[in-house]
Amino acid sequence: MSKNNIYSFHKTVRGHMHVMRDMVCQDCSASFAEDDDLFHIAIVADGHGSSVCMRSDIGSKMVTEIAREELENLASYILYNRKREIDKKELEELNSFLQNQKSDSYFFRIFGTEEVSVEQSLATEPVQMLRENMEGYDGFSFPEDKEVLIKKLTDSIVFQWNKAVNEHFARHPFTEQELELAGVYAEKYRRKIEIEHAYGTTLIAALRVKDFLILIQQGDGRCDVFYGNGEVDQPIPWDENCHENVTTSMCDFDADKEIRSCILDLREREVVACYLGTDGVEDSYRDMEGTHAFYKNLSCYIVEKGADEFQEYLEKLLPEFSRRGSGDDISVAGIVDLEGITRLAKVYDREIEAYHISNIMQQYASKKISMTRKHKILRQKEEAARLALEKEQENCKEYMEKTEFADREKEELERRLEQVEQELAQTEQDVFHIENALAAKDRSELLEKVADLLENSTFLACIQQYCEQDLEKKKESKTQLYEQLQKNKKQIAKEREKNKSDLQRLEDAKQKYQKASEEFQKYDMQYQEIDAKCEEAAQRLRQLKQKPAE
């Protein structure tokens, strides 16, 4: 962590797909903080994945090292007005090297003609030489100076990289195994043509020095700059030649012309963070808002946990991020103003949540599209089943009425039968009691008592006779009712048999309707739930947009 609260970092992880395919990591990154915190550097490079670029991992390392060295030189120049020196020996080496270059090489085009000499390109002072002697001159005070300096910087990086690549190739010519991988390029490589292609890589680099943020980029990947007012943008002009899976590259013939740059004056606009990332980051998101949210998350983590834990976080986060996202190698680097991002952390926190909620809403919207046809079909099925049931009910209407009448009659008969049975039981009990009384041992005593009362000893016999007659009547009534009930039941069974198929159809229709209705209700509930969740998410999103930063 630096004294002035400026923190720079970098991290590269091998992509999940590269791990699974046993491919090397083709990304590289670097960061540097000057001891006195006078300047900071961050760099990422993405070696091309194509099999014809089989040395892109070496190419990305080379460009990272070269860019770092060149940015340090530039920082020294800006800070101390210290120029890059090229001594005689180096010049001789360069000239000797150039003489061996092929006519189609970058070197030949740039330096093999009379137009520009190595000395002119690398060693001459800026046009505004005299200004350099002005007190406090930072090399950037005049717009044209900036242009010249940046041009010299990018030219030098392109030159150094091409030189390093060619030197590497001279020491390590392509092996047969490598040439087999090279496909259509194999023949060219054999003839030592466009060998730089094998080392192809992108580059994004940032230098924060004095009041400036200097950004350069060749190829794809993104540089997110976060400002003091909470805004974020990608100030390096985009190259329209970077599209689909095509990118411009350090190995391009006209890389010195393609390479883009941008200088931000921090006195005019406060920059709180600058993050560089290879395309493995942006490819994990559906849009650039996702990339911004990713870097905002990093900012929040730095503020919350500090630099040491942040490095551990990156160690753990990035491999998993690659696995779940693009699968590609991932490199991130950054130069962060800790005070600035601390101020904005809560705003970022809210914006990250808003982004995630908008993602969730999209997922729900997509799910709803997926569910709509089935929802409609199930509703139609339920409606069709209901209509079919109504039709069957209509078909069975007359029969239903008859059956209902017979059912009611049956119920009445059963009720009456039950009543008679109860009465019968009571009478039987009475007869039983009387018989018992007549058979009692103390019958004479009883008779005497009754005779005293009724003066007729045959009274009990009369009661008995009456009861027995009543019993007979009730038995007869029960038999009649029972027969009637049996007849009624037979009638119902006959009717049912007669309408069996109609009834079966009705029963089937009832079951089908029940099933269709249950199925639709269940799915409709899920469908409505998605709707409700979508609305809930939309409401939360509105709240987040309205809620002022605390």
Is position 517 an interface residue for other proteins (rule: CB under 8 A)?
Answer: no
Choice between 301 and 459, CB closer to other proteins:
301
- Among 119, 188, 121, 132, residue whose Cα is nearest residue 158: 121
Is position 236 an interface residue for other proteins (rule: CB under 8 A)?
Answer: no
Region binding other proteins by CB under 8 A among candidate stretches 100-108, 316-324, 424-432, 468-476 = 316-324
Region binding other proteins by CB under 8 A among candidate stretches 155-163, 292-300, 419-427, 441-449 = 292-300
Region binding other proteins by CB under 8 A among candidate stretches 225-233, 350-358, 391-399, 416-424 = 350-358
Element (H, E) at 346: helix 338-395
Choice between 77 and 226, CB closer to other proteins:
226
* Total residues binding other proteins (CB under 8 A): 57
CA–CA distance, 185 with 189 (Å, rounded to integer): 6
Using only C-alpha atoms, the chain has a radius of gyration, in whole angstroms, of 48
Region binding other proteins by CB under 8 A among candidate stretches 83-91, 237-245, 428-436, 474-482 = 237-245
Q: Spell out the SS3 assignment of 238-279.
A: CCCCCECCECCCCCCCCHHHHCEEEEEECCCCCEEEEEEECH
Is position 317 an interface residue for other proteins (rule: CB under 8 A)?
Answer: yes
Q: Spell out the SS3 assignment of 124-163.
A: CCCCCHHHHHCCCCCCCCCHHHHHHHHHHHHHHHHHHHHH
User: Which residues within the stretch 362-391 sit at the binding site for other proteins (CB under 8 A)?
Assistant: 362-363, 366-367, 369-374, 377
Cβ atoms < 10 Å from Cβ of 238: 12
Quote the distance between the C-alpha of residue 432 and its chain's center: 88
Is position 427 an interface residue for other proteins (rule: CB under 8 A)?
Answer: no
Region binding other proteins by CB under 8 A among candidate stretches 95-103, 358-366, 396-404, 490-498 = 358-366
Is position 311 an interface residue for other proteins (rule: CB under 8 A)?
Answer: no
Is 326:11 a contact under the CB 8 Å cutoff? Answer: no
CA angle (347, 349, 352) in 5-degree steps: 110
From the CB of 135, what's the least distance to other proteins, in Å? 44
Is position 88 an interface residue for other proteins (rule: CB under 8 A)?
Answer: no
Token digits for 291?
Answer: 């990339």
Is position 498 an interface residue for other proteins (rule: CB under 8 A)?
Answer: no
For residue 144, the one-letter residue type is E
For residues 148 to 187, the per-residue mask of contacts with other proteins, x marking binding by CB under 8 A and - elsewhere, is -----------------------------------x----
For residue 17, the one-letter residue type is M
From the CB of 197, what's the least distance to other proteins, in Å? 14
For residue 507, the one-letter residue type is E
From the CB of 49, what's the least distance to other proteins, in Å? 2
CA–CA distance, 124 with 117 (Å, rounded to integer): 10
List CB contacts of 246: < 8 A, sequence separation 6 or more.
none
For other proteins, which residue of 70, 138, 196, 328 counts as binding (CB under 8 A)? 328
CA–CA distance, 276 with 219 (Å, rounded to integer): 13
From the CB of 47, what's the least distance to other proteins, in Å? 9
Is position 359 an interface residue for other proteins (rule: CB under 8 A)?
Answer: yes
CA–CA distance, 305 with 536 (Å, rounded to integer): 32
Choice between 87 and 244, CB closer to other proteins:
244
Q: Spell out the SS3 assignment of 397-464.
A: HHHHHHHHHHHHHHHHHHHHHHHHHHHHHHHHHHHHHHHHHHHCCCHHHHHHHHHHHHCCCCHHHHHH
From the CB of 262, what's the least distance to other proteins, in Å? 23
For residues 15 to 34, the per-residue mask of contacts with other proteins, x marking binding by CB under 8 A and - elsewhere, is --xx-xxxx--x--------
For other proteins, which residue of 81, 234, 297, 517 counts as binding (CB under 8 A)? 297
Is position 546 an interface residue for other proteins (rule: CB under 8 A)?
Answer: no
For other proteins, which residue of 40, 48, 474, 512 counts as binding (CB under 8 A)? 48
From the CB of 286, what's the least distance to other proteins, in Å? 5
Q: Where do contacts with other proteins occur on this chain (CB under 8 A)?
A: 17-18, 20-23, 26, 48-51, 183, 243-245, 279, 283-286, 293-294, 296-297, 300-301, 303-304, 317, 320-321, 324-328, 342, 345-346, 348-349, 352-353, 356, 359-360, 362-363, 366-367, 369-374, 377
